[in-house]
Amino acid sequence: MGKRLVAPSLLAADFANLQRDVEMVNQSEADWFHLDIMDGVFVPNISFGMPVVKAIAEHAKKTLDVHLMIVDPDRYIKTFADLGSNNLTVHYEACIHLHRTLQAIKAEGMKAGVALNPHTSVTVLEDTIQDIDLVCLMSVNPGFGGQSFIENTYQKVSDLKNIIKRKNSSTLIEIDGGVNATNAKKLVDAGADILVAGSFVFKSEHPTETIKNLKETIA
Ligand code: DX5
Ligand code: ZN
């Protein structure tokens, strides 16, 4: 059994009430904060940058799980470490020298994550899996919250789990995009450890309850 964590994505928070939403996550049963950084180049959207991450970090009392959807992420590894990121996830598709990038992230004292777009096979990680702390499987095309979950993800989770076991690695599997009460249980049953949830949490009537229920669903 994995660790089964829930990581609300602040992309779906109310940016005019960011402190309120950060405190909500602090008080809830959520495990991590998931922060989505988009550069308008790697993905067709721009989210938020360093000043906002800094503001979040000042209030957040849980692990900061930062997901970089940017080209050439090596340029900002130190910046995000200095901002207080605990996990730094880069996209496989954005890294020419992934192995070097992973070492650089760890050298800054962070956990190293690799995200895969829906079109990227998990098999590309066979030779680096032992160097990866977490793999973030995108279950939507990155760039926007509120999209529908891609069903092929279940198969990718179990294929990735098999690679992790075969290589005797302790890599965690995170699922990002379209996560909700309908797919959560099936995802952890397939081998997922961490579920990112944006809209499902923040657009719900009672986010704290939604997080609690999601944790119960995957317990
Ligand atoms: C998408 C982001 C996700 C997003 C998830 O590019 O990486 O983290 O916030 O949002 P939902 O849960 O609404 O699909
Ligand atoms: Zn994300």
CA-atom Rg of the chain in angstroms: 16
The pLDDT of 62-75, averaged and rounded, is 98
- Average pLDDT score over the chain: 97
Q: Which residues are catalytic?
A: 36, 176
User: b vs e for 161-191, b when ≥16 Cβ sit within 10 Å of the residue's Cβ?
Assistant: bebbeeeebebbbbbbbbbbeebbeebbebb
Residue 188: both structure tokens together:
């952890």
Ligand 1: which atom is nearest the Cα of residue 115?
7
pLDDT digits (tens, 9 = 90+) for 3-35: 799 999 999 999 999 999 999 999 999 999 999
The pLDDT of 46-63, averaged and rounded, is 98
pTM for the structure as a whole: 0.98
Q: Specify the amino acid at residue 38.
A: M
Q: Is the model's pLDDT at 198 over the cut of 80?
A: yes
Q: Is the model's pLDDT at 105 over the cut of 90?
A: yes
Residues with CB under 6 A from ligand 1: 9, 11-12, 34, 36, 67, 140, 142-147, 176-179, 196-200
Mutate to test the pocket of ligand 1, among 6, 10, 11 (most ligand atoms within 8 A of CB): 11
